[in-house]
Structure 1
Amino acid sequence: MATIEDVARRAGVSQSTVSYALSGKRPISAATRTRIEKAIAELGYRAHAGARALASARTDVIGLMAPLRTGVDVNVIMQFVAGVVTGAGRAGYDVLMLTQDEGSLARVTSSSMVDALVVMDVEDDDARLPALQALRQPSVLIGLPADPHGLSCVDLDFTQAGASAVRRLLAAGHRTVALIGSPREVVDRHTSYAERMTRGFVGACEAGGATHLVLPTPASAAGAVASVDTLLAQLPDVTGVVVHNEVALPHVISRFRERGRDVPGEVSVVAVCPENVATSLPVPVTSIDIPAEGIGQIAVDMLTALMRDPSMAEVRLVSPRLTERGSVRDLG
């Protein structure tokens, strides 16, 4: 393989000059840069993404910002990641995963490490939006901020998901319902999916005249137990529950059983979660699927379209689909 020393020798410059040309840390004359670019092309030098960017104006790498913040379910995050990786591979791109916000965005974009970005864990008023809007690289958000500022976004329509889950319970005659939702830290960050889920749930309850309660719930067995106990203390007549918390879901069902409220005999449950979560439980749960892998692939499709035509920015929300699995009882 060609080395930076080979490139310098072919271009008739020092190794440090080649390094500066690759990193952009110092200005290089147009004539010198042309010689270096020619040497890179002739030698097939591919030391890192910066070299490829200099030689071809692209890296064939997509950046994936997936910050692993407290309260997120890593298993679900990895389903989105798998979708992005699959879509990127199909389109001929590698994926550089970034798990921290601070400094990552500026570092990878200013040094031409990536051609474009997929951004996850989006908040209603996301602090990253101004920087993303100013980038020369296109980006797609998995999530929907309150004002996307012209950026492309894709996600499940969580507002409709929350409303659809409530309407299913209302149709079965349930008039006292609860949402066992995302962890408190996710809610306090005003994470987009949690905000929209709550809005949809509350709006449908109010429209249907249902008594309702929203309980942010830690993603743990202990958190699920505490939420069920709180729910039964505050709404002892509850008959319908929407669960939007994949980790808590099985423990919620177990705790209801321990408290003498069998599912679906005494309490009906609708979950909002990936399909594999709903079907893996001892009692299969009626659910609205979160098609995480599919959304990840759609994000890459949108991104490649943006790289061809920057005017293709759009917001795409996937319509929720409810699958019956017998955990909702008709009260008649």
Structure 2
Amino acid sequence: GLNCVDLDFAAAGALCVEHLAGLGHREIAVVGGSPGVYARHTGFAERTLGGLRERAALLGVGLLHRPCDGSHDAVAGVLARILDERPGVSAFVVQNESAVEPLLALLRRTGRAVPEDVSVVAVCPEAVAAQASVPLTAVAIPAQELGRRAVERLFARLAGPDGPEATGVELLTPVLTVRASSGPRAALRVGG
């Protein structure tokens, strides 16, 4: 009897992996939300991670997930751990908007250019992606559209509990916008 409008986060995760795998990336690291997000079993985080894992398994892509608080020090520790555990990582998916700029800065500091050496894709608000120091290829979280659809469903429910939009779940199809942060895996480039 409940009504819900949300982004299809599982499909968003799958879309990120498809994009990166299509560019030749075979090892992807996920910089997720804070550990508490996963301890609480927060729906969007779990659904995104599920979509990432399912599509990575289907495409034969290695996937390493690490929760991260998003502070510069936390991102530095997570990045060091990722590079130690999986030195072949050539792409990152970020689902923690506070980790975006620290990650981009730390990658530069370690001599990894984006997208020449590593690709970065995010699931984040459009403004975060477009205004990052390297404009991010991203699946936007369409907050305004979600709000508009939720209000429409609320009014439909108030008009009559038996209407087609009175109850149920509506998941918006994710859209990935390609920007400057993703490119072919370096080893696959001609002359690379």
TM norm structure 1: 0.54
How far is 1:299 from its partner? 1.0
Residue 330 (1) aligns with residue 184 (2): yes
Task: Answer whether contact 1:224 1:249 (CA < 8 A) is retained.
Answer: no
| 2:190 pairs with 1:190 | no
2:12 counterpart letter in structure 1: A
1:319 correspondence with 2:170: no
Equivalent runs, 1:153-232 vs 2, <5 Å: 153-232=4-83
CA distance in 1, matches of 2:172, 2:103: 27
Deviations 1:282-316 (A, max 9, x none): 21011111011221221111111111111321210
Secondary structure at the aligned position of 1:247 is classed as helix
Among candidates 132, 137, 155, match of residue 304 of structure 1: 155
Q: Which residue is 1:234 aligned to?
A: 85
Structure 1 position 294 matched with structure 2 position 145: yes
SS of the equivalent of 2:98 reads coil
Equivalents in 2 of 1:219, 1:309: separation in Å? 44
Could you tell me whether the CA contact under 8 Å between 1:176 and 1:212 is conserved in 2? yes
More relative contact order, 1 or 2 (CA 8 Å, 6+ apart): 2
User: AA paired with 2:107?
Assistant: F
Structure 1 residue ranges (4+ consecutive) displaced by more than 6 angstroms after TM superposition: none
- Structure 1: unaligned runs, 5 residues or longer: 1-149
Distance (Å, rounded) in 2 between the aligned partners of 1:219 and 1:302: 34
Instruction: Give, in whole Å, the separation in 2 of the partners of 1:236 and 1:261.
Output: 12
SS of 1:329's equivalent in the other structure is coil
CA distance in 2, matches of 1:182, 1:293: 22
> Offset of 1:164 from its aligned partner?
0.2
Alpha-carbon separation, structure 2, partners of 1:185 and 1:282: 27
8 Å CA contact 2:37, 2:45 repeated in 1:
yes
Counting only pairs closer than 5 Å after superposition, residues 1-332 of structure 1 correspond to structure 2 as 150-311=1-162, 312-331=166-185, 332=188
Which moved further from structure 2: 222-231 or 162-171? 222-231
CA distance in 2, matches of 1:222, 1:297: 38
What is the alpha-carbon distance in structure 2 between the residues aligned to residue 225 and residue 305 of structure 1? 48
In structure 2, the partner of 1:88 is: none
**Contact 1:270 / 1:285 at 8 angstroms: preserved in 2?**
yes
Residue identity opposite 1:223 in structure 2: A
Amino acid at match of 1:295: L
1:188, CA displacement in angstroms?
0.5
Give the alignment's Cα RMSD to 1 decimal.
1.0
Supply the distance in 1 between the matched residues of 2:82 and 2:147 (Cα, whole angstroms): 35
Identity over aligned residues, as a percent?
Answer: 40
Q: Which amino acid aligns with 2:130?
A: T
Asked whether the 8 Å contact 1:271–1:288 carries over to 2, the reply is yes
Contact 2:70 2:99 in 1 (8 A): yes
- Say whether the 8 Å CA contact 2:104–2:133 is kept in structure 1: no
Alignment coverage as a number of residue pairs: 183
